[in-house]
Amino acid sequence: MPDLTLPANDPSFPDVWEEITWRGLVHVSTNPDELKQLLAGPPITYYCGFDPTAPSLHLGNLVQLLLMRRLQLAGHRPLGLVGGSTGLIGDPRPTAERTLNDESVVAEWVGYLQGQVARFLSFEGDNAALLVNNLDWTAPLSAIEFLRDIGKHFRVGTMIKKDAVSARLNSDAGISYTEFSYQILQGMDFRELYRTYGCVLQTGGSDQWGNLTSGTDLIHKSEGATAHAIGTPLITNSDGTKFGKSEGNAVWLDPTMTSPYAFYQFWLNTDDADVIQRLKVFTFLSREEIERLEGVVAAEPFRREAQKILAWEVTGLVHGADATRAAIDASEALFGQGDLSALDAATLESALRELPGTTSPSSTSIAQLLVDTGLTASASEARRAIGQGGVYVNNVKVEDDQATLEHTELLSGMAVLRRGKKTLAGIFVE
């Protein structure tokens, strides 16, 4: 693969608003003409918030992190907010009340998320990034002060029309006052950052639009000023499938929760119908290069060039070049195109954990392992596959249908079982 593309905005666009619009990053926004003028003018301060409702950020958050980086590259100053207070409450989910986490757990997660946010921003120069925690200004606030100074600016009729709230009001679960108040807290955050840092723009997912506009409305009512918001599109496949914690298929940025190998494979398996839009959103490749790849997808989809570049670029952004190369080496070695013994044990294990697998003693026959891992339906089919020369352990052909793991050279107590060219399983020896 070529060198990783360093984060940089595309100079072929007249301004950053034109670029983020072309990349499909603006699903909804306040006044587009004003935003275009604002982002093309002198540096502004903007923010995005991340709630510690898990020990890691995920794919949807990555959209925000990269948008923040693009705006910073255009000269604007980012504030990365990790919600030590809003993380204790949680924004409303569509179907059920959010489970509240212990304060000590949330505080620990705040630290994890701050570290992840910091990796995508620059803390040097005139527009150096700053990390903030809304617990700093929320914790000292009394309930009476909150109701008098903040709550008076919100109208219940407007609040219940927000999509997330109305969906819950019409459900059997209903909604608690705790989650109902979330939009007020997020609005208060925007006003606090406006007052303290002159922040005039908030970005977030389009599913947060009601919360984003709570802040712009509060600033308008209490400060008599104009603030803006950009809502990015939710990441879905062409068939409408969503990604995230609530869907149970989150792709995490923490390598202990989604390994670099699994992360790389996720992008490599992107459908042809989705890959160009993924390149626009998740990479810093130029418009010229993305349009070239669009032509390749149309003319020679079997090459999977766009998917390979997408996987290389995004995994490199999140996990670095070394981990990405290790993921590529593991992928090639698993399918017999590289040296399995050259992989370190951690990389091999993370790759095998993504495969169907089993844990067995070394005395287990290869034929039985084929059955145990689902690579064959029966022992007779397993012996037949071995006899036909289509079974491999650690990329070495199995010649004897009575062979066991003891007859193979294990890799740190692990083995790769393969039937044919593409059907794999992981074996962990007891």
Residue ranges of domains in the chain: 16-232, 355-430
20-78: per-residue pLDDT in tens? 999 999 999 999 999 999 999 999 999 999 999 999 999 999 999 999 999 999 999 99
- Complete DSSP assignment for 118-171: HTTS---STT--EEEETHHHHTT--HHHIIIIIGGG--HHHHTTSHHHHHHHTS
Residue 372 has pLDDT above 60, yes or no: yes
HSE-CB of 112 using CA atoms within 13 angstroms:
20
Amino acid 352: pLDDT:
94
Helix pair 182-197, 209-223: axis angle to 10 deg:
50
- What's the first-to-final CA gap in the chain, in angstroms? 37
Are the C-beta atoms of 91 and 182 separated by less than 8 Å?
Answer: yes
Q: For residue 7, what is the DSSP state?
A: P
Tell me whether domains 16-232 and 355-430 share a fold: no
184: Cβ contacts below 8 Å, ≥ 6 apart: 150, 151, 154, 159, 214
Which residue carries 């008076």 as its tokens? 152
Q: For residue 194, what is the DSSP state?
A: H
Q: Which CATH code is given to the segment(s) 16-232?
A: 3.40.50.620
65: Cβ contacts below 8 Å, ≥ 6 apart: 48, 57, 116, 117, 120, 121
247-286: per-residue pLDDT in tens? 557 899 999 999 999 999 999 999 999 999 999 999 999 9
Which CATH superfamily is 355-430 part of? RNA-binding S4 domain (3.10.290.10)
Other beta carbons within 10 Å of 238: 12
C-alpha Rg value of the chain to the nearest Å: 25
Other beta carbons within 10 Å of 273: 11
Q: What's the pTM value of the predicted model, to 2 decimals?
A: 0.90
Largest Cα span, the chain: 82
Are the C-beta atoms of 255 and 264 separated by less than 8 Å?
Answer: no
Residue 17 has pLDDT above 90, yes or no: yes
168-210: per-residue pLDDT in tens? 888 877 888 888 888 999 999 999 999 999 999 999 999 899 8
Strand order in the sheet with 396-397: 357-360, 423-429, 414-419, 391-393, 396-397
